[in-house]
Structure 1
Amino acid sequence: MALGKLLNSQEPGALGRPKSIWSTLHLDPILLALLLLLVGGGLFVLYSGADRNFAVVKGQMIRLGVAFVVMFVFAQLDPAIFRRWAPWLYLAGLAGLVAVLLVGVGAKGAQRWLALPGLPRFQPSELMKLVVPMMAAWYLSRYYLPPTFSRIVVGLVIVLLPMFLIIQQPDLGTLLLVGMAGIFVVFFAGISWKLITAFFGMVAVSAPLMWFYVMRDYQKQRVLTLLDPQSDPLGAGWNIIQSKTAIGSGGMDGKGWLQGTQSHLEFLPESHTDFIVAVLAEEFGFVGMMLLMAVYFLIILRCLYISVTAQDSFSRLLAGALTMTFFIYIFVNVGMVSGLLPVVGVPLPLISYGGTSGVTLMAAFGVLMSIHTHRRMISA
């Protein structure tokens, strides 16, 4: 029995070998190396997208430094801690979203931030990208899987409640990411294809009602612009037209670093934030885009490996949902910049300039590393 435990143990050092430094630090070296490669390349693109403004790059480096510290801290915590605190974090997140609606700080027609005395301004909705899948995984993993219909309904309510509060701000991009993060947990828990088909049927039926009674004028305009950007080329269609022009002009190998005309001649708006992928495509071409997608693919592949090798239902559901949320970030940003999806304000992960989303993403990677490195001894 003792020999069986040793042979089957996933713990480093189980056979008398000393733990590696990575095991001691609770970091996954493969995932960490890929993240550093992505961030390092992103800073070069950001320098060009910000029109050679090193102050922007310096600010991003500070934000990323904080994000990596957050990742390290989260990696040290045992997954049992996340499971134990999930309900309380969820309630705190809901309270934060309600506080935003009551006393939040507004900017550019949206009320999304809280400014508490002694603390920097922050968005509670960003935290829900991590807390909502954590709460859904906590609830569903308490029972046998696949879940019953009633437990699926409760899981969906857990997801829909913060979505309802976020849409009031409004913040369509964050709404999409929070919703997908929670729905992925429910999907991975195991639901029948009949329910999946019924869900998409409900979405299709409710789409006209959402168009007339839920969506605001600017949101409708984004959809109409997606269908026909040339209907308002100097107004609502300007961003998409210039973005597609930048991507197409890059050709196979691009114009070269710092040689992009769309961004440096100020044709391309938000060139260092939401539309930074157009800068990369113009300067590094199809080859550069494929290299970026390859790095993203390897990160997702590593995270999926961590998900399928997790040792309990909570960890598997949470890791899988966080991995797919990262994929949704990439899919939505590249889709909207290339004119395949409406513009919803989702940044390119760990490349676009910004702080809150980067910290949230790195916290998620910290959770994944925690799940992978905090192993339990398996009985023979």
Structure 2
Amino acid sequence: MSHSLNQPTFRQRLRPWFTGFDIGLVIAIALLCGCGLLAMYSAGFDHGTRFVDHARNMALAGLILFVVAQVPPQRLMALAVPIYTVGVVLLVATALFGLTKKGATRWLNVGVVIQPSEILKIATPLMLAWWFQRREGRAQPRHFVAAGLLLLVPTALIAKQPDLGTAILVFSSGFFVIFFAGLSWRLILPVALVGGVSVVALVAAGPTLCEPGVDWVVLHDYQKNRVCTLLDPTKDPLGKGFHIIQGMIAIGSGGVTGKGFMKGTQTHLEFIPERTTDFIFAAFSEEFGLIGCLLLLMCFAFLILRGLAISFAAPTAFARLLGGAITLSFFTYAMVNMGMVSGILPVVGVPLPFISYGGTAMVTLGLSLGMLMSIARARGLMQS
């Protein structure tokens, strides 16, 4: 009798699995998932099973988040070198033996077809956070140079596939780790200044550089076309400029309050290409207008601020660097996607987290948020 009374209840057995979960982060994720389901129901209403599949992908990402959150940051740190090494080896194998589709060699058949570049979205910040954890408090310039090489290897291999969108995401996630590790502003500002001057020069010289027959040397023809289309999409309104023009029309036609849920004409008359994936922000803007976009931006801002708060309070340098990089990667995703849909940035195929359809992207999202929740739990368990 006394033995049965001392046995823990089912609720008591479950409690350790949820102890330390950050409520603010859970709320931010729930809000963005709600926005994603709302947008996908409308944009994918007559697009097969997109809404159901999107909900399934979200559930899978939630399960991955829960499982990864149970793994302590110390265990994640032990996985950093093996995952990064395997990822780079797979990228090299892709370059040598990969499958080519539509002119891009991004996939590798290892019994199942995989896209190794997705692994590096997680592996790169993991590796760099491990690198600086091992040198905490004594990082020297040569350590930052070595970190730069660790970052440039996967970035260059992915860019060569070519997959500029993923290369940008991998580079930015690694750069955030190096920045938080103490990269001097004296090195960042000159590069930023050169970049700014280059953009101004490109805009000024655009009409000449975009003339037929002008070779840009450092870029593929399709990349040159994307930049030239960004500078003047009206040159080919029914061809290369169609995506940008229709996206801007949809965003502008939404006005302040939007046309209303399920009432987007650009969306439902199929003028917006890729309306459930890369250009879903245009469909969202058309139906919910400026107010809806501001609310969506506030949800992303809430997620980012909560993630940064978790990172800054993390117990180790590894957790702080990894958490900060993961958090700011959401800023990169959102900025690049919204920028390209709005005609501010070139179209590079970057999804909008939680909102765009895509199973692989959702799995990566679950892994990233699971690591962030693991960091939050580590701090909470230490305090308890």
- TM-score normalised by length of structure 2: 0.88
Instruction: State which of 273, 285, 296 in structure 1 corresponds to 2:300.
Output: 296
Is the aligned partner of 1:42 residue 2:36?
A: yes
Aligned pairs for 1:42-121 (under 5 A) are 42-53=36-47, 55-117=49-111, 119=112, 121=113
SS of residue paired to 1:314 = helix
Q: Give CA deviations for 1:325-346 in whole Å, capped at 9, x if unaligned.
A: 1110000000110111111100
Aligned pairs for 1:136-155 (under 5 A) are 136-145=128-137, 147-155=139-147
Would you say the 8 A contact 2:216–2:224 is kept in 1? no
Change (3 A) 1:22 1:215: farther
- Name the CA distance, whole Å, in 2 between partners of 1:99 and 1:201: 37
**What's the offset of the Cα at 1:206?**
9.1
Instruction: State which of 307, 313, 319 in structure 2 corresponds to 1:309.
Output: 313
Instruction: State which of 344, 352, 375 in structure 2 corresponds to 1:348.
Output: 352
Q: Which residue of 2 aligns with 1:276?
A: 280
Is the aligned partner of 1:177 residue 2:181?
A: no
How many residue pairs are counted as aligned between the two chains?
A: 357
Change (3 A) 1:157 1:249: same
Would you say the 8 A contact 2:315–2:378 is kept in 1? no
Amino acid corresponding to residue 182 of structure 2 in structure 1: G
Q: Give CA deviations for 1:195-222 in whole Å, capped at 9, x if unaligned.
A: 22344467679999xx833210110111
**What's the offset of the Cα at 1:26?**
4.9
Change (3 A) 1:267 1:353: same
**What's the offset of the Cα at 1:78?**
0.6
- Name the CA distance, whole Å, in 2 between partners of 1:204 and 1:214: 18
**What's the offset of the Cα at 1:30?**
2.2
Would you say the 8 A contact 2:136–2:317 is kept in 1? no
**What's the offset of the Cα at 1:83?**
0.9
**What's the offset of the Cα at 1:53?**
3.5
Q: Give CA deviations for 1:62-105 in whole Å, capped at 9, x if unaligned.
A: 22221111111110101001111111111000011112122222
- TM-score normalised by length of structure 1: 0.88
- Name the CA distance, whole Å, in 2 between partners of 1:136 and 1:369: 19
Q: Give CA deviations for 1:41-68 in whole Å, capped at 9, x if unaligned.
A: 2112112212434611111122222111
Would you say the 8 A contact 1:182–1:321 is kept in 2? yes
* 35-44 or 221-230, larger mean C-alpha shift: 35-44
Amino acid corresponding to residue 228 of structure 2 in structure 1: L
Would you say the 8 A contact 1:163–1:178 is kept in 2? yes
Instruction: State which of 216, 225, 231 in structure 2 corresponds to 1:227.
Output: 231
- Name the CA distance, whole Å, in 2 between partners of 1:86 and 1:202: 33
Would you say the 8 A contact 1:263–1:279 is kept in 2? yes
- Unaligned ranges ≥5, structure 2: 1-11, 203-214
* 181-190 or 196-205, larger mean C-alpha shift: 196-205
Amino acid corresponding to residue 148 of structure 1 in structure 2: Q
- Name the CA distance, whole Å, in 2 between partners of 1:151 and 1:257: 52
Is the aligned partner of 1:238 residue 2:242?
A: yes
Change (3 A) 1:47 1:159: same
Instruction: State which of 264, 272, 285 in structure 1 corresponds to 2:289.
Output: 285
**What's the offset of the Cα at 1:377?**
4.2
- Name the CA distance, whole Å, in 1 between partners of 2:270 and 2:78: 50
Q: Which residue of 1 aligns with 2:269?
A: 265
- Name the CA distance, whole Å, in 2 between partners of 1:28 and 1:377: 14
Instruction: State which of 191, 196, 219 in structure 1 corresponds to 2:183.
Output: 191
Q: Which residue of 1 aligns with 2:378?
A: 374
RMSD over aligned Cα atoms = 2.2
- Name the CA distance, whole Å, in 1 between partners of 2:231 and 2:265: 26
**What's the offset of the Cα at 1:28?**
2.2
Is the aligned partner of 1:319 residue 2:323?
A: yes
Instruction: State which of 365, 369, 373 in structure 2 corresponds to 1:361.
Output: 365
Is the aligned partner of 1:127 residue 2:119?
A: yes
SS of residue paired to 2:106 = strand
Q: Give CA deviations for 1:169-218 in whole Å, capped at 9, x if unaligned.
A: 1100000000010011111111222222344467679999xx83321011
TM superposition outliers: structure 1 runs of 4+ over 4 Å:
201-208
Change (3 A) 1:272 1:258: same
**What's the offset of the Cα at 1:312?**
0.9
Change (3 A) 1:63 1:106: farther
